[in-house]
Structure 1
Amino acid sequence: MSTQDAMGPVVVRDARPEDDGVVGELLVEAFITQYAKKLPEVVYTDERKRELRDVAARRKIASVKVAELAGEVVGTVALFPPGAPGSEAWLPNAADLRGLATSVKLHGKGLSRPLLDAAEDQARSWGVDAICLHVRRGAEGVARMYMNRGYVREPSGDMSLPSVFLEAYVMRLKSPA
């Protein structure tokens, strides 16, 4: 998949083993940098950083996409199929969208659009009923971005974890029966 915008041609493709290192660092940098600015109380443990960097394990169970700009990996997103280990989807036959991140130097440039287009197209090809995702409470800009794409807030999928409260959003691809 390729798209053209003000940055130049952005190519979205499946992540490959040779992308794992750069994707892992991109996730750590994007999450830590952005949350540190917007939510200074958020602390990422070494364990969480290790999880973010373990792209190889994620590729075994999820569809991991990368965005390339001028040959450089500058964004990523993962989509877990229904029932996949680690999926946080709370609806039956729903995919779980996780780990959307773009290079910090390109934040605000619309790079999430082609990544989300690719993930949503992947979900449709799987024939799922919905895409579920979670946003850290307080990350209003992130929530707004998803809502502008058609995701709706669904409190029944909220997750209260020991260190974070995650608000649930869903995009229904098929009408519930």
Structure 2
Amino acid sequence: MSDPHAEVVLRRARPEDLPVAGEVTVAAYEQFTLGPTDPYVARLRDAAARDREAELWVAELDGAVVGTVTVALEGSPWREIGRPGEGEFRMLAVAPTVQRRGVGEALMQLVLGRFRDLGAHAVVLSSLAEMSAAHRVYERLGFRRLPERDWSPVPGVDLLAFRMEL
């Protein structure tokens, strides 16, 4: 059991982190998938592709990877709704065993800081309509709904867009 007062350490993923980062992502999104045979699970698990084609960051508690986020810079194939001058992130995930310990918010602050440093004027994201707990965190941090960019990658999957000015 990790120390409830341990500090979250944020860093770029290393090759040895990729399998764990993939499993953390699968576990965090499990309730939103159709189960192990859902084709999206393989995409969630593929941290190596996210690291290669975007920036994969991890969060550690007590030396263990417990969270991850994909920072999709302009030109990354992981971008979905970002426009020029906007940052976009994907697949923010926190291990269910450490949720509500500040890991997700620490990852969000990292994303915002990263895009500020790059000179972005805003950050955007897409989120499943069912992810209401995440929506509350985004809104508390200053994100606002962007309904004109809501979209559906496949029938039955509705994604809500959010944006925050930097």
The two structures share one fold, judged by TM-score above 0.5: yes
Q: How does 1:65-80 map to 2 (within 5 A)?
A: 65-80=57-72
Which of 142, 157, 161 is the equivalent residue of 1:164?
157
Q: How far off is 1:47 after superposition?
A: 2.1
Q: Distance in 1 between matches of 2:152 and 2:38?
A: 21
Match of 1:8 in 2: 6
Gaps of 5+ in 2: none
Which residue identity is paired with 1:129?
H
Q: How far off is 1:6 after superposition?
A: 4.8
Q: How far off is 1:143 after superposition?
A: 0.8
Q: Distance in 2 between matches of 1:47 and 1:91?
A: 27
Name the count of aligned residue pairs: 162
Q: Return structure 1 stretches of 4+ with deviation > 6 angstroms.
A: none
Q: Distance in 2 between matches of 1:142 and 1:113?
A: 10
Q: Distance in 1 between matches of 2:4 and 2:41?
A: 32
| CA spacing shift, 1:80–1:90, aligned 2, 3 Å | closer
Q: How does 1:21-170 map to 2 (within 5 A)?
A: 21-33=19-31, 35=32, 42-44=33-35, 45-161=37-153, 162-170=155-163
Q: Residue by residue, what CA displacement relative to the aligned partner does 1:126-168 show, whole Å, maximum 9, x if unpaired?
A: 1112111011113222111100000010011111232300000
- Cα pair 2:57 2:70 within 8 Å, conserved: yes
Larger deviation: 47-56 or 90-99? 90-99
Q: Residue by residue, what CA displacement relative to the aligned partner does 1:57-76 show, whole Å, maximum 9, x if unpaired?
A: 11122121111111100111
- Cα pair 1:68 1:74 within 8 Å, conserved: yes
Instruction: Give the TM-score of the pair, scaled to structure 2.
Output: 0.90
Q: Distance in 2 between matches of 1:134 and 1:18?
A: 28
Gaps of 5+ in 1: 36-41
Which residue identity is paired with 1:32?
E
Q: How far off is 1:172 after superposition?
A: 1.4
Q: Distance in 1 between matches of 2:79 and 2:112?
A: 16
Q: Residue by residue, what CA displacement relative to the aligned partner does 1:106-137 show, whole Å, maximum 9, x if unpaired?
A: 11222111111111111111111211101111
Q: Percent identity?
A: 36
Q: Residue by residue, what CA displacement relative to the aligned partner does 1:34-79 show, whole Å, maximum 9, x if unpaired?
A: x3xxxxxx51544211111111111122121111111100111111
